[in-house]
Amino acid sequence: MENSPPLLSKSGFVAVMGRPNVGKSTLINALLGQKIAAVSPRPQTTRKRQLGILTLEREDCSLQAVFIDTPGIHQPRYKLGELMNKEATQTLEESDLVLFIVDGSQPPQPEDTLLFNLLNGLKRRVPIILALNKIDLLQSSPEQTPKGVDHQPRNDHRAAYMENLPQAQAVAISATQGDNLPELLETIIANLPEGDPFFPKDQLTDLYEREIAADLIRETCLNILRDEVPHGIAVRIDQFTERGETGALIEATLFVERESHKAIVIGQGGQMIKQIGSVARQEIENMSGRSIFLQLKVKVRKNWRNDEKVLRAFGY
Ligand code: GDP
Ligand code: MG
C-alpha cells in the first residue's frame, strides 16, 4: 500500500457581519444544514454571539469553520445596543476571516456604511468575503447575461459595495434558494488558515442547548406578538431537566416592561401564552430532536433594557 500524504487541515473563526435582516442567520443555517441561529422576519432577534461549527472531512483536506453570528451594528438607542456594538468590534478583531453579508437586491444603506468604516479601520488585516445575498429577488436582464451563464450580472449592486471594500472577494448568493452556496463555501475554505480543529467533529454549536431554547422562545414571541410588545421581552430559562427516555422539561420566564404588555402576552383566557408555548415547544423539539415539555410564566420587570445588572443576569 502506498503511503498517503498527511491530510491538509484548516480551521478558523469566521465573523459573520452585516446589518440586521440581511440574512446572516439564514445563511449560517443553510451552510450548517440545521437550525441553530434564530431566524426572524424582524431585525434584532440575534442578540448574542452564536457559534455555528462546520466540520468537513474531504479527500483533499479536513476543515473546520467556526461561524460567529454577531449582532448587527445599530445606532445605540439603549444600553443593549451599545453592548452589541462593542461585541461586534471584538468579534472582528478575534477572527481569521470576515464574512460580510449585504442585501444585494438593494444598494448600500447607511447602516452598511457603518460596517464599511469599521472594517476599513481595523488594525489587523483580515481577509473579507462579501456575500451579496438575496439575488433571488433580482431579475436577470437578458442583454447582460451571456448564453449558458447562470449567475452572471444581474444588477446585484456589486460595484457600489466593492467601491467601499475594494479588498473584499465578492460572491453573489441566495441563502434561501441555495444559489452559489458551494462557491461561497470554496471561497471560505480557500481563505482559512492551516490548523487543527478547535471542536469535536460532531459538535454543531458551543451554545448550551438552554441558550438556544431561550433564543427560540424569544423568536417565537417576536413572531407571534409582532409590534404589540416592541423589543420588550427577555427570556430566562429557570429549569432545564432531562427526563430520560421521555425528553426534557423546560421552565422559562418571559420578562416584559409593563403590566399592559403582560396582559397582551398572556392574552384572553391565557390563549396567547398557550399559542406561544406550543409554537416554541415545536421549535425546540425540532432543534433538539426529542420531546419537550415547556412551561412559561410572565413577569413584569420595568426598564430591563437599561439595567446593566439585569442584562448581565440574562446573559447579554
Ligand atoms: P439576520 O438578521 O441578518 O440574521 O437575518 P435573518 O437570517 O433573520 O433573515 C431576515 C429575513 O430575510 C428573513 O425573513 C429571511 O427569510 C430573509 N432572507 C434571508 N436570506 C434570503 C435570501 O437569500 N432571499 C430572500 N428572498 N430572503 C432572504
Ligand atoms: Mg439573525
pLDDT of residue 299: 93
- Residue from 39, 136, 181 to probe ligand 1 pocket by mutation (most atoms less than 8 Å from CB): 39
pLDDT of residue 242: 73
Centre of ligand 2 to C-alpha 217, Å, is: 14
pLDDT of residue 43: 41
The CATH number fitting domain 8-190, selected from 1.10.3720.10, 3.90.660.10, 3.40.50.300, 3.40.50.10860 = 3.40.50.300
Q: Render the burial of 151-174: b for 16+ CB within 10 Å, e for the rest.
A: bebbbbbbeebeebbeebebbbbb
- Residue from 16, 17, 21, 67 to probe ligand 1 pocket by mutation (most atoms less than 8 Å from CB): 21
Nearest CA residue ID for atom 27, ligand 1: 134
Centre of ligand 1 to C-alpha 114, Å, is: 20
CATH 3.30.300.20 in the chain, residue ranges: 209-313
Decide whether any atom of ligand 1 lies within 6 Å of the 30 Cβ. Answer: no
Decide whether any atom of ligand 1 lies within 6 Å of the 99 Cβ. Answer: no
> Tell me, what DSSP letter sits at residue 241?
E
Closest by Cα among 234, 241, 242, 243 to 214: 234
Decide whether any atom of ligand 1 lies within 6 Å of the 175 Cβ. Answer: yes
Cα distance between residue 18 and residue 93, in whole Å = 15
Ligand closest to CA 156:
1
pLDDT of residue 45: 41
What are the tens digits of pLDDT across the range 155-202?
779 999 999 999 999 999 999 999 999 999 999 999 999 998 877 666
pLDDT tens series, the chain, 316 aa = 455 655 789 999 898 888 888 998 889 888 887 545 544 433 434 444 555 778 888 887 888 888 876 655 544 454 555 655 666 777 788 889 999 999 999 999 988 887 888 888 777 889 999 999 999 998 665 555 555 555 555 677 999 999 999 999 999 999 999 999 999 999 999 999 999 887 766 665 555 677 778 888 988 998 898 777 766 788 888 888 877 667 788 999 999 988 999 999 999 999 999 999 999 999 888 777 778 999 999 999 877 676 666 665 555 5
Closest by Cα among 237, 266, 239 to 253: 237
pLDDT of residue 268: 95
Nearest CA residue ID for atom 26, ligand 1: 134
pLDDT of residue 61: 81
Cα distance between residue 172 and residue 181, in whole Å = 9
pLDDT of residue 11: 92
CATH 3.40.50.300 in the chain, residue ranges: 8-190
Judging by DSSP bridges, how do beta strands 97-103 and 128-133 pair with one another?
parallel
Decide whether any atom of ligand 1 lies within 6 Å of the 39 Cβ. Answer: yes
Centre of ligand 2 to C-alpha 255, Å, is: 21
For the residues of 173-210, what is the DSSP string, one character each?
Answer: -BTTTTBTHHHHHHHHHHHSPB---SS-TT---SS-HH
Q: Does domain 209-313 have CATH number 3.30.300.20?
A: yes
